[in-house]
Amino acid sequence: MSSSTETRRLTAKGRATRDRIVAAAAAVMYDRGVAGTSTEDIIQAAQVTSPSQLYHYFGDKKSLVQAVIEYQTEQVLAFQRPLLHRLDSFEALEAWRDAVVQAQRARDCQGGCPLGSLAAELSDTDPQARARLATGYAQWEGAIRDGLAAMQERGELDAEADTGDLSLALLTALQGGLLMTQLRRDTAALEAVLNAMIDRIHRHADG
């Protein structure tokens, strides 16, 4: 049974409690990593009364991690979705780039990508988590691809532009840039790689 199905079966109060637990767990896991986050940490952060209340909503830590991945995917896409929905021109690409860079500056270049952090920690040890993360990244990639496809349909990109390849490359570049931003504590690498990808897309500008 999926976590979304389980959530729909809860009362409004139950959903609110579950959502509070997931949000708290996501924040702690983002700061400390999944392995570095204990049940006690989550209970304290979520302000639940006991481990039994936590296990009422999540049978084990793995099921909670699955919910955290869903939560972080939605958080990432919610921030970018308004821009991704308009990612259909070079001006929109540049606005998206600027928003991503500014978001990193606002957090003092700390933390990296919430999905990327989970992927780095879990991909080799938790097949279910890896599959859920891959689904989240596919949603992200698809939103970028849809924007590039809209540009192509309007004639802003030539017929040779492979929007699938370009969207995957842009997302991959973004992930590497975010990691370098976290390491360097500045946005220079992130800006450089996003600019390089936008320049690559520009090469397909029709006319």
**Which two three-digit tokens encode residue 46?**
């979520």
pLDDT at 4 over 80: no
Query: Model's pTM, two decimal places?
Result: 0.85
pLDDT of 7 reads 53
- DSSP label at residue 203: T
- Of residues 47 and 7, the one with the higher pLDDT is 47
Residues, the chain, total? Answer: 207
Got the DSSP string for 109-151? T-S--HHHHHHHHHTTT-HHHHHHHHHHHHHHHHHHHHHHHHH
pLDDT at 181 over 70: yes
Contact 184, 109 (CB under 8 A): yes
- Domains of the chain plus CATH, in order, are 1-59 (1.10.10), 61-207 (1.10.357.10)
For the residues 107-124, what does the mean pLDDT come to? 93
Confidence band of 5 (pLDDT split at 50, 70, 90):
very low
Contact 88, 150 (CB under 8 A): yes
Q: Which residue has the tokens 């809209």?
A: 150
Q: How many CB atoms lie within 10 A of CB 54?
A: 21
Contacts of 83 (CB under 8 A, 6+ apart): 92, 95, 96, 99
Contacts of 70 (CB under 8 A, 6+ apart): 3, 4, 132, 136
For the residues 76-86, what does the mean pLDDT come to? 86
Question: Long-range contacts: 193-198, Cβ < 8 Å, 24+?
Answer: 194/97, 194/100, 194/101, 194/170, 195/97, 197/166, 197/169, 197/170, 197/173, 198/90, 198/93, 198/94, 198/97
